[in-house]
A and B are shown apart, each in its own frame.
Chain A
Amino acid sequence: MDKCVQMIGITKRFGDVTANSQVNFTCSPGHIHGLIGENGAGKTTLMKILYGMYTPDEGEIHINGEPVKLTSPKTAIKYGIGMVHQHFTLVPSLSVVQNIILGRPPKKTGDVIDMKAAAQQVIQMSEAYNLKVDPYAIVDDLPVGIRQRVEILKALYLGADILILDEPTAILTPQEINQLFLTLTELKNKGKSIILITHKLAEMMSVTDDITILCNGIVTGHLQTEKTNEEEIARMMVGKDTKLTVTKQDNPTGQVKLKVENLNYYNKFGVKMLNDVSFEVKAGEIVGIAGVQGNGQTELIDVISGFERDYEGTVVINDAVFSPSNGVAQRRRQGLSHIPEDRQTRGAALDASLLQNYTMSNFEGEGEKKKYFINWGKQKKRAERCLNDFKVKFDKVEIPAYSLSGGNLQKSIVAREMEMGPKVLIAAQPSRGVDIGATIFIHERLLDRRGEGTAILLVSYELSEIMSLSDRILVMYNGRIIGETTPKESTEEDIGLLMAGLHNSKGEVQ
């Protein structure tokens, strides 16, 4: 009776794929329970079963000791289970209150909603749990951190005692993550049980009481947080010993391969997003752009890659000078490759096959004349070899890109972009939403390219990624490069200050 959730022998298959196999999962009341595993390990599937969205093929579920059949979210809600999904389930055009009460609004007569009472309840709850929201704001106008609060309030409003959060930190800034963890601790102190899905080790260690580790749909460990360490968890996650960071050798640098001069760019609303940006990247060098999201990084990438053509200044790629009238294709032909920030919208055509996605940029194959027709037979062999080299897991190259997990899809994009032997490579958030194994793999490939003399511009919002890969670091703030340093000269804290627009004490910045 001392467990609020008991899932016993849960098995769930989707066609030939077994997402969960004989999984046992228990959660104690008033605890924060971490569910950790690599992408595609079956964490979300397990929790969707608990929330009644999937029916398990085998196994049983007990809530507070009572065996239950959870056939829909509605029944799960009845048993006090709430879930905050990775992709928010809010209605953007409705207000905060309307979203929170959507499932079960207080009513006056008949079907008419008592909006006053509803707003009152929301305000009370938001004070009780220290989750500040403006009840009348329209959700569409709110930043993601606040939207997440609305989601949590919604679950609590529906009477959740067991709250499942699926990768809640993936979209938050460090400050928002701290705030979220404070909230979770507060909820725990008020007696709620929390299940936290994540693949980030550090946050798992900092906030949870117990941890369950999933690997390929199988539970590989139940641990108490205070009796374990990151290495042990990492080992159970991937099923073998892994080192957590890459090691970087010194690398001789060559000629300047990428040079931008006096870039100025206004977005379509007239806001100046790039302010006189100049820098260069040499062959065999990784230059990292550090900065808080939204300080012009996206615009910088778009301008260099030729997506955004309405800028002032010059871009020099591999000794060729490009004016704003030169588009993406011309730049790519000059040896520019680009791992885009957002693999879902720019990195891959999700409905197209892996083969088609590969062919999009690697059609003009080496040793062949430029052709107007595609030799699919050859192309297929090439794609298979390329994807296998990058350890992308796939049945055959004809499957659509959306059927790959996030990490695999990212690897396939990295594979494609590195295939042409780029002179200049823009790597924008190359490990975003990717598990440890794949992150390390991608980092190693980037370092390989660096060794082969590619000039790499790395843009990332994860400072640790910048620190471990870059030879030089440029800090971007408000559309300007406000500082330059190296990982050896500065600590994460120094760079953090710069990222916040504060000059550091050493006076290294102008």
Chain B
Amino acid sequence: MVNTWIIAILRLSAPILLCAVGSLFCDRAGVTNISLEGTMLLAAFMGVFGSYYSGSWIIGILCAVAAGVLASLFFALITLKFGGAELVVGFTMNVLLDGLTVFMLRSIFKVSGSLVSEKVIGVPSFTIPGLTKIPVIGGFVTDLNILVVLAFISVFLAHFIFKRTHLGLKVLSSGENPQAAATVGINVYGIRLLALVITGVLCGLAGAQLSLGYLSMFTEGMTAGRGFIALVAVMFARGSSMRVLLVTLLFGAAEMMSNYLQLFQYSSYLILMIPYLCVILLTLLQLILEQQGKKKRMISAREKTA
């Protein structure tokens, strides 16, 4: 039982995690990119598209990543290059890309709602043999796929980049004090562009996980707010990659629970609210904790100087 839960949580958190790590780069570099939702949706569609026509899930993933990067570059073109307002462009892109995927679904595949086809080859899952029966540990090695593994690698990689590398410092300084970065010769524009491309790649992978990871199908609006949940996870985390991981897993768990509870007689709409309710409760909790922490810090700082 525990193992099935863990498998479900990993599977459900993977797209949010990929998306959140991507968003983390943007956020740290000082770009407010809320177009993750639309970007991920486009990538999910293009993943199915690539897989359908090539018969290869690898091509599918590559198509998804390409779509993610293209969407990010479009965002970069309008905001970084021409100075468009980030929130406006981000919001518009979400609506635009939602419509675009629906349009393409109907004009290319002549279906509405969902595309389910044998021609869509999903990403194969694998199991590390011998460990599956062990409680807890088994859950972490069963029914994995390359994208889930990449998701968890990406978050640790991001942690390492921000803590230990010059690139990480450049991204952090470009976001927090672009002037400081510029005056020591860092190309803030270039760093932000790079951050957006990284976001595009990771959102692409997230989209691929949604449409090719376990389902092998595309449904209109299938991201269902995951892009925004990823944004929220990043805001909670205040720049810490490890907290992004924690919050994302929590969302995964909430989603798993709502899936699980649907088996019983509860209203499914009510249950689908659970992950979002979690967001609001977490926000409150964080506010309370932060205020207390700040109060303590200020008082101790005052005592030290007095």
Contacts and interface: CB of A to CB of B under 8 A. Distances in A.
A110 B170 CA distance: 15
Given A91-B173, A113-B165, A73 B182 contact: yes
Interface string A444-476: 000000000000000000000000000000000
Contacts of B167: 111
A195 interface: no
B184 A158 contact: yes
Given A98-B169, A102-B169, A271 B180 contact: no
Contacts of A141: 301
B125 interface: no
B177 A89 contact: yes
A118 B164 CA distance: 12
Contact of B183 (A85, A107, A110, A111): A85
Interface in A220-271: 269-271
A94 B299 contact: no
Nearest to B179: A89
Contacts of B301: 141
Contact of A270 (B172, B177, B179, B299): B299
A191 interface: no
Interface string A135-169: 00000010000000000001000100000000000
Contacts of B184: 73, 77, 89, 102-104, 154, 158
B177 A92 contact: yes
Interface in A15-43: none
Q: Say what secondary structure dominates the interface of chain A.
A: loop
A77 to B, nearest CB: 6
Nearest to A90: B180
A72 B179 CA distance: 12
A83 interface: yes
Contacts of A158: 184
Interface string A90-101: 111110001101
Q: Choose among B167, B170, B180, B301 the residue with the greatest number of A CB atoms under 10 Å from its CB.
A: B180
B164 A91 contact: no
Interface in B254-306: 295, 298-299, 301-302
B165 A111 contact: yes
Contacts of A110: 165
Nearest to B173: A91
B166 A111 contact: yes
A121 B173 CA distance: 21
B169 A105 contact: yes
Contacts of B99: none
A83 B185 CA distance: 12
Contacts of A88: 180
B260 to A, nearest CB: 39
A102 B180 contact: yes
A112 interface: yes
A271 B299 contact: yes
B186 interface: yes
B55 interface: no
B298 to A, nearest CB: 5
Interface centre among A51, A93, A98, A105 (most CB of B within 10 A): A93
A94 B185 contact: no
Given A51-B183, A91-B176, A102-B170, 20 more contacts: A53-B183, A72-B185, A74-B185, A83-B183, A85-B183, A91-B172, A91-B180, A93-B172, A93-B176, A93-B239, A94-B173, A94-B176, A102-B169, A102-B181, A102-B184, A104-B184, A112-B164, A112-B165, A113-B164, A154-B184
14 contacts: A72-B185, A73-B184, A74-B185, A77-B185, A91-B180, A102-B173, A102-B186, A105-B169, A110-B165, A111-B166, A113-B165, A270-B299, A271-B299, A271-B302
